[in-house]
Chains A and B, each alone.
Chain A
Amino acid sequence: MAKSEAVPVAERPLDERLKKQSVLRSFLSRPELGAVAGTVLVFLFFAMTARGTGMFAADGVLNWITVTAQLTIIATGAALLMVGGEFDLSVGSMIGFAGMMIAIPTVYFGWPIAASVVFAFCGALLIGFLNGVVVVRTRLPSFIVTLASLYILRGMTIALSIFFANRTIVSGVKNFAGDSVVVPLFAGKAFPGFFVWLADAGIIGTLPNGQPSVQGIPAVVIWALVIALIGHVVLTRTRFGNWIFGAGGDANAARNVGVPVARVKIILFMITAFCATVYAACQVMEFGSAAADRGLLKEFEAIIAAVIGGCLLTGGYGSVVGAFFGALIFGVVQMGILFTGAPNDWFQVFLGLMLLTAVLFNSYIRRRATGER
């Protein structure tokens, strides 16, 4: 069967249909196919069931776009790492811990908030580096190593919060922020004038106080777009991206041709930690506080989005675009269920089914991609 893919020149039949089949086949073997199809289905479903609930009005759209954007940020990191053949279960705890690294120095040490944010990013990159080093040095499964980090970081987050604030939330960050540029950087709203114009033109609704129902594009959405775009370009168009495929697809084969597999994996762990910190910074600036339970279970959401997006659990295959669509499905369904008024428990049922479908679909796609070998 697979033999027909590459036959010796002389034997090759000159049949135009083969060409067409190959185009269709190459489309069918794209990792993001399942997530795109799922997105279409989910939108069709809610277009019918959630009509008139406000889900597709401007503020409703903002709602699920924000959820999608938050998840896209961490799903991008998770997808890259997964293509590189590893998992990071500490993403959720990293979100909580990074929040504390921003809030505690700002509130209790009197640091300028910009300095705290830089500190949090450096700290997160260091933790990602350590995760990576432990994984590549010990050759233990990253599942176990980062499960340890999950508990260590969550424990430290709670302990530090109690130690400094005497409770599990460090609030009042905004009082210390002044007019620092980092607040709008992570929690601003872009293009407010445009949305005022949209409201005046009657394209989007207005609130009772006369303001437009959506005041701008939240910074988290812009972060998500930028991170996903960079992630996509890095994975598909750079040398490092090629090394990610190599490291995850067959680490030994990649090593044999000179790919620095250990370095690639360590950098990927640092990227997931970076993404978690962006997520944390957006939340801290938005709410003005850091809480010890922030990011709980987010590691699973990130992995689910990546898997729905076509990443193989075994590595070497997947896409950032797919992970974005995975996050979109997640956001639309989570918010759609709220809008339609269905009990929220159904969301989890749906999520489980979706995950199972995606994994089955992915292994089918993989078999197609490799010609059933």
Chain B
Amino acid sequence: MNEIANTPASSVPLIEVRNLVKHFGPVVALNGVSMKVHRGEVMCLLGDNGAGKSTLIKTLSGVHKPTSGDFLVDGKPVAFATPRDALDAGIATVYQDLAMVPLTSIARNFFMGREPMRRFGPFKFLDLDFAERVAREEMHKIGIDVRDPGQAVGTLSGGERQCVAIARAVYFGAKVLILDEPTSALGVAQTSMVLKYVNQVRARGLGVIFITHNVRHAYAVGNSFTVLNRGKTLGTYAKSEIGIEELQNLMAGDKELQLLSDELGGMV
């Protein structure tokens, strides 16, 4: 780990939201959410189903517009009209199943939406050689050796796909990486591969928002934890302030899980 990794870095957060509210017609999805992400920090967003995690990150990534509240990037207020605006501001989101086009090659996927071009007279064509070379190099850096960057993404495992999606975001200069349940469908080995890579990305100074249901995964990589419940922040805790059990209980909302846990003799 290098220096930036462990110090909470600069005082201006990369992303900060204050009292964010989002209504879908009569549905109140977010009812006053506040949180910050700093450079070199993995901020885990925890919460039960329907707590509003996805809604929050979709607001951060320009899919939804907030009903009210402040949204600051690098200390300046922003209002994104499209996901493209968020991307341009350095906020990249990796959705669990929707990050890659399975039948299309790794190289084409890596550059999807930001294709490298080469000029031939008046025409511009895809620079596939460049795409394949960079895709191979970037994958190599993560420790995935692709024999043929022209092979379909579908040939990669779920964990590898998540890693490629993250590598792509980093390559294109993301400052903030939002990962929506990147490990929920993965086995143990694949999960540790993704978590390791998330840690590596953080060490490079990016801010990471990591959404998960799994407190263990969160605790393994997180520096701070924000717990959402029914569209509200229950609080943000540094890793030193909270233990894994407390976090588990907090996430379950009330004492329900605690009770259940006692009932089952500490099995949950």
- Closest CB of chain A to B74's CB: distance in Å? 21
Task: Kindly list chain B residues whose C-beta atoms are within 8 Å of the C-beta of A253.
Answer: 95, 98-101, 112
Task: Kindly list chain B residues whose C-beta atoms are within 8 Å of the C-beta of A371.
Answer: 152, 154-155
**Are B126 and A370 in touch, CB under 8 angstroms?**
no
Q: How far is the CA of A174 from the CA of B216 in the complex (A)?
A: 79
**Are A237 and B125 in touch, CB under 8 angstroms?**
yes
**Which of A5-13, A104-112, A339-347 has 4 or more CB atoms under 8 Å from chain B?**
A5-13
Count, chain A residues at interface, CB 8 A: 42
Q: How far is the CA of A32 from the CA of B42 in the complex (A)?
A: 46
Task: Kindly list chain A residues whose C-beta atoms are within 8 Å of the C-beta of B95.
Answer: 252-253, 256
**Are A7 and B103 in touch, CB under 8 angstroms?**
no
Verify if B143 is at the interface (C-beta below 8 Å from A). yes
Task: Kindly list chain B residues whose C-beta atoms are within 8 Å of the C-beta of A6.
Answer: 139, 144-147, 155-157, 160
**Are B157 and A2 in touch, CB under 8 angstroms?**
yes
Q: Which of A18-75 contact B (CB under 8 A)?
A: 18-19, 22, 26, 29
Grouping DSSP codes into helix (H, G, I), strand (E, B) and loop, the B interface class, with mixed when no group exceeds half, is loop
Interface mask (B114-156 → A, CB under 8 Å = 1, otherwise 0): 1101000000111010000000000110011111101110111
**Are B98 and A9 in touch, CB under 8 angstroms?**
no
- Closest CB of chain B to A230's CB: distance in Å? 11
Interface mask (A292-315 → B, CB under 8 Å = 1, otherwise 0): 000000000000000000001000
Task: Kindly list chain B residues whose C-beta atoms are within 8 Å of the C-beta of A2.
Answer: 155-157
**Are A366 and B103 in touch, CB under 8 angstroms?**
yes
Q: How far is the CA of A148 from the CA of B101 in the complex (A)?
A: 30
Identify B101's interface contact among A8, A239, A245, CB under 8 A: A245
**Are B148 and A26 in touch, CB under 8 angstroms?**
yes
Verify if A3 is at the interface (C-beta below 8 Å from B). yes
Verify if B230 is at the interface (C-beta below 8 Å from A). no
**What are 10 contact pairs spanning A and B, CB under 8 A?**
A3-B157, A5-B147, A6-B160, A241-B126, A246-B113, A250-B102, A254-B101, A257-B114, A258-B84, A258-B87
Starting from the known contacts A6-B145, A246-B113, 9 additional A-B residue pairs (CB-CB under 8 Å) come to A2-B157, A5-B147, A236-B126, A237-B128, A246-B101, A252-B95, A254-B113, A371-B154, A373-B155
Binding site for A on B (CB under 8 A): 83-84, 87, 93, 95, 98-104, 108, 111-115, 117, 124-126, 128, 139-140, 143-148, 150-152, 154-157, 160, 168
